[in-house]
Structure formats: structure tokens, C-alpha cells
Structure 1
Amino acid sequence: MTDAATDLHARLAERLAALEPIQMELVDESHLHVGHAGAQGGARHFRLRIVSKQFLGLGTLARHRLVYDCVRDLMPYPIHALAIEAGTSPT
């Protein structure tokens, strides 16, 4: 990962800490999207698996909204895509 990608990964993790995750895995999958229009200009693709008690009682859409609220200003650049799996119990 480049320094810029490492910095972005750290920034994302810092923002998502607001959800007090019990478990979190954040993977940069940008290398899988080389040549994709959204990746032009260096925008990144991430996959997030996150478990938080803040998701209790919420449906998938509401969980995703909480995640997007944490990173909204980073989209669509420098983050082009964020695949989210948000749960309430560790696996």
C-alpha cells in the first residue's frame, strides 16, 4: 500500500471508531478494480466488516447509514466504493 492509501485506511478506521466496534476488518480492495471508471484519479475501494452494539435493533439500511454518516465527506473521493457487512455479534 502507498503512504496515501495507508493514511486513508487509518483515517477510515479512526472515523469508524465512533461506532465503538467490537470487531472490525477494513480491507483495501482497490487492486481488484484497476481500470474501473471509479478508480480513475486514485479513488479507492474498501470492504468493511464491522460489529457494533450500536447496530442492535437496526435493519441493514439503518446500519449502513450509520457507517456512511462516519465517512460521508470522504465519498466519492478519495473513497469510491465501500462494501459493508454490519452485524451485532462477533463471528
Structure 2
Amino acid sequence: MPSTFTGAVAAEIATRLNAALAPSRLEVVNDSDRHRGHAGHDGSGESHFTVIIESPAFAGKSRLERQRAVNAALGDLLKERIHALAIRASAPGE
């Protein structure tokens, strides 16, 4: 079963997104166990994530702009620690 805010990588994702985007809602779901044996599963238990984020910073932004903002906030984590990231980003009231 996926878990929320577990492990060092999930906590770092949450910290960076809170700092960069001041979300009104944030869930970081660790999907890694569902990808055991697949490419990119590194055995650490923290390689695949889903981020559900609602932020006023996304108002008037396209889906692509929202995803780029999340990716920018995570920076080097995407290159070094995260193999796969699903993003569900919205503005309040959507």
C-alpha cells in the first residue's frame, strides 16, 4: 500500500515543495513497492513517487508550467534519487 511522507526522499520532496510553492495541500505518495522488479527500482524503497499538490502559485498556469515548477523545486533529486514522478498539480478551487 502506498505511504505518504515516509523516508528521507519523500520528506525532502515535501520540504522542497513547501518552500518553493507554499501549497495549500500536499501529498507525497511513495509508489516504489508497486514497481519492485521494474527498471529504475533501485531497492532503496524510494524511487517512484506521486505528488498531489494544490498551490495558489498554479493559478492561471498551464499543466506544463505547473509540472515545470514542481520539477524546478525538486532539482537534483530528479537526477539523483527519483526514477519516476507522477504530478497532479492544481490551483485552489479547481
Return closer, same or farther for 1:77/1:41 CA change in 2, 3 Å cut-off.
farther
The normalised TM-score by structure 2 is 0.84
Following TM superposition, by how much is the alpha carbon of 1:39 offset from its aligned partner in structure 2, in angstroms?
1.1
* Structure 2 spans left out of the alignment, 5+ residues: 1-5
* Structure 1 spans left out of the alignment, 5+ residues: none
Task: Please list the CA deviations of residues 46-70 of structure 1 after superposition, one character each: whole Å capped at 9, or x if unmatched.
Answer: 0011000000110000000000001
Partner of residue 91, structure 2 = 88
Contact 1:21/1:50, CA 8 A, preserved across alignment: yes
Query: Which structure is richer in relative contact order (CA contacts within 8 A, separation 6 or more)?
Result: 1
Contact 1:23/1:90, CA 8 A, preserved across alignment: no
Within the candidate set 57, 65, 68, 2:71 is matched to: 68
The normalised TM-score by structure 1 is 0.86
Would you say how many aligned residue pairs link Structure 1 and Structure 2? 87
Contact 1:22/1:90, CA 8 A, preserved across alignment: no
Partner of residue 37, structure 1 = 39
Note the aligned Cα RMSD (angstroms): 1.6
Runs (4+) off by over 2 Å: 40-43
| Identical columns (%) | 40
